[in-house]
Amino acid sequence: MTYTYTVAQLAQLVGGDVHGDGSVTITGIADLREASSSDASWLTSAKFRKHLTTSSAGVVLLPASMDASVPCAIVCQSIHPSVAKLLAAFAPRLVGNVAGVHPSAVIHSTATLGDGVVVGPHVTIDASATIGDRTELQAGVNVGENVAIGSDCCLQQNVVVRHGCRLGDRVTILPNSVIGGDGFGFFYDGRAHQRIPHVGGVIIEDDVEIGACSCIDRAKFGHTTIGAGTKIDNLVQLAHNVRVGRNCVIVAQTGIAGSVRIGDGCVFAGRSGASDNITIGDGAQIAATSVPWADVAPGAKMAGTPAQDSTQEHRMLIHMRRLPALAAKLKKLIARVDKVEASAHNQQ
């Protein structure tokens, strides 16, 4: 499906002002370096400004703070929301599922479904589960016993929510994620590793999004909890009894060990993690591939493994890169010292 807008229409959609010809026709979106005269593009940072001079884009969305001369622009007071609206304008209009239960779904007689619920093919809903109004369960979803799912949620293909877990309203979970799998806990009895039962649950609060193939383990006791508004990327592992605060961002391949406490507004960059039983203060930022092994203060920016203050880590990296040159200088100095000492010995 193709979409056609004039620049003036796009400006109205994204909330910006036209600088140039508002009648130009736009039929797509593309990167500045690849855009044609019928494409819209955008610039969010001055470091990419060099691409403006060679771009063929029909119109460019620009932040109001940036002084850039292009033939046709839409100047936006808040560039990131405007770009999101631009992308939405060209997003495919999927047919979507209509309310009702697919004939292949298996629903226990004691389960409760709210108004306007969508139950797709091969969904299973176990005993005493509750599904809120307008929630969508796509193909292959499994909802365990005594699970409670709020209103306006979307569980995409093959999501598993195991027994006793609770989801708030407007929770989105992408395909193949597992909520409430048993935590990783064993003891060695001298002959074999024996599993430790995990009898707790998982609580996911309102407006949480969880990416594809992520796992949030049930608690050993009590609950593993995800605070309202938190966004979790693909391939993330949260172990038993982890508590994540509100409005956190956890990026792909992050692994959080058991019983970690994460405050509000924290950011874990890609492939980062946290050692077990530590506390991450509100607003802390953990750099990519970094792993703190001890408590992190509120607002701290950490890098490295074990993670330390990011400024100190960057200084260490700079010094490490200088080591080959320093080693060469040290070798020359040692040779000179040896020569001086040999000369002094000979004079004796």
Mapped onto helix, strand or coil, the DSSP state of residue 88 is helix
19 counts as catalytic: no
CA angle 283, 285, 287 (to 5 degrees): 175
Question: In angstroms, what CA-CA distances link 313 with 30, 252, 299, 309?
Answer: 37, 22, 17, 6
With tokens 């929770």, the residue in question is: 171
Contacts of 30 (CB under 8 A, 6+ apart): 36, 39, 40, 41, 57
Select which of 19, 198, 223, 240 is catalytic: 240
**99-126 burial, b for 16+ CB within 10 Å, e for fewer?**
eebeeebebeeebebeeebbbbebbbbb
- Let me know how long the chain is: 348
The 3-state DSSP class for residue 65 equals: coil
What residues act catalytically? 240
